Amino acid sequence: MRKPTSSWIRSANELLQANIDHRRILFGARAVDDHFDAQRKKKIPLSQIKWDMNMLGSNTASQMIDFIDHQKTIIELTKSECANIEVRSNPQGSQSFDLPQNLKRQTGPNRARKDSYSALLLGNWFAKIYYDMYEAQAKPKPVNDFIPRIIK
């Protein structure tokens, strides 16, 4: 895997910011009342999803409730990681998108991270590449008008 260049990092972050600003990326909200009941009744194969090893012996209804709550937690984590990103410019003019220094110095299992932010950044870029691929026009094949002839 290649290390991303500073120009790509800037382009990807600007694209992510534009997509959030123009509401092409929307973050889900917590399910309440009827929406929660509707989500709880969905048929999701939780036995095929490995997301919490502590839930292996639980019944399906409690697993579904915990799964919905887990999704809410992951979305909130992604939103907070995106909000924590700080843009800095160095003297050469390139920009860095990173956590503030006080958050970078934290240690322990609950320290600030930017894993979900990085995953969102990459997913957003890959979606751009995917849609650009379908909008690309095929280059027309060159027409060969030349017919070689032997002169006697």
HEC-encoded secondary structure of 40-101: HCCCCCHHHCCCCHHHCCCCHHHHHHHHHHHHHHHHHHHHHHHHHCEEEECCCCCEEEECCH
- Residue 47 vs residues 44, 58, 78, 134: alpha-carbon distances, Å: 9, 11, 25, 35
Q: Which of the two residues, 1 and 125, has the higher pLDDT score?
A: 125
Residue 141 lies in a domain: no
Residue 112 lies in a domain: yes
Residue 144 lies in a domain: no
Residue 58 lies in a domain: yes
Q: Which two tokens stand for residue 7?
A: 């120009």
Indicate left, alpha or beta for 23 from its phi (over 0: left) and psi (-120 to 50: alpha).
left
Residue 98 lies in a domain: yes
Q: What is the mean pLDDT of residues 66-79?
A: 90
Q: What percent of the chain has pLDDT over 90?
A: 36
pLDDT confidence band for 56 (50 / 70 / 90)? low
The overall average pLDDT reported for the chain is 87
In the chain, the amino acid numbered 73 is T
User: How far apart are the C-alpha atoms of 105 and 74, rounded to whole Å?
Assistant: 23
User: How far apart are the C-alpha atoms of 64 and 140, rounded to whole Å?
Assistant: 53
Residue 31 lies in a domain: yes
- Supply the range of the domain harboring residue 65: 6-135
* pLDDT score, position 57: 63
The angle formed by the CA atoms of residues 84, 90 and 91, to the nearest 5 degrees, is 160
Residue 55 lies in a domain: yes
Residue 148 lies in a domain: no
Number of domains within the chain: 1
Estimate to the nearest angstrom the gap between the alpha carbon of 119 and the chain centroid: 4
